[in-house]
């Protein structure tokens, strides 16, 4: 990810080469980590996956990060700040994670294009409880509704217009 960010944004990532503290090789800590990671990946089969973490390109990453953290209860776990300015971050809440990256409009397109047809559905314990929590965090929302297929769904949009849905399974009432 950082390689892609460095390539895309033109920032360089300085890496100091020292003997590895783990195995004392001369590749350096970072390079030794990459070699070990590559060996582990090659030993895995193609069907093994650990997680899927979407990357959202955003116009104002500070504003978006604040929305997800303060408004939705995510925590910032990782960040990249070239020249002291936030350019990428990983946010987590429970078992859910997303990454935010500062958009480059010439490469990533306009905000309307980036989020068109894109939705993120978070499975939660109780969409009604989530609704009440988000209201207490200051968001203005419509209450969740039960879809015909039995999902109680709370829909909202983030600052860039990405559609978010917090949902939980409910029993569908039978009609007699």
Residue-range domain boundaries for the chain: 19-43+51-169
C-alpha dist (Å) from residue 102 to 9, 29, 65, 84: 9, 28, 11, 14
State the pTM of this model.
Answer: 0.71
Diameter of the chain by CA atoms? 74
Task: Tally the residues of the chain.
Answer: 176
CA–CA separation, 156 and 164 (whole Å): 5
DSSP class of residue 44? S
Tokens of 76: 């910032």
As a whole number of angstroms, the distance between CA 3 and CA 118 comes to 25
19-43+51-169: CATH topology = 2,3-Dihydroxybiphenyl 1,2-Dioxygenase; domain 1 (3.10.180)
Report the alpha-carbon distance of residue 42 to residue 30 in Å, rounded: 18
pLDDT by residue for the chain (176 residues), tens digit each? 333 344 344 444 443 444 555 565 655 544 555 556 556 655 666 678 889 999 999 999 999 999 999 999 999 999 999 999 999 999 999 999 999 999 998 998 888 888 888 999 999 999 999 999 999 999 999 999 999 999 999 999 999 999 999 999 998 767 76
User: Cα–Cα distance between 167 and 121 in angstroms, integer?
Assistant: 7
């Amino acid at each position: 990810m950082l390689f892609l960010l460095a390539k895309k944004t033109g920032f360089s990532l300085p890496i100091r080469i020292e003997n590895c503290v783990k195995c004392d090789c001369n590749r350096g800590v970072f390079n030794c980590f990459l070699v070990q990671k590559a060996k582990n990946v090659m030993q895995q089969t193609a069907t093994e996956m650990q997680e899927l973490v979407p990357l959202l390109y955003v116009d104002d990453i500070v504003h978006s990060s604040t929305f997800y953290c303060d408004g939705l209860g995510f925590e910032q776990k990782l960040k990249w700040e070239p020249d002291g300015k936030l350019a990428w971050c990983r946010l987590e809440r429970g078992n859910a994670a997303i990454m935010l990256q500062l958009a480059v409009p010439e490469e990533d397109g306009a905000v309307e294009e980036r989020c068109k047809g894109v939705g993120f559905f978070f499975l939660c314990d109780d969409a009604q409880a989530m609704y009440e929590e988000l209201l207490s965090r200051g968001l203005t929302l419509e209450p969740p509704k039960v879809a015909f297929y039995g999902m109680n769904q709370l829909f909202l949009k983030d600052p860039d217009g990405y559609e978010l849905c917090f949902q939980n399974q409910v029993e569908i009432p039978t009609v007699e």
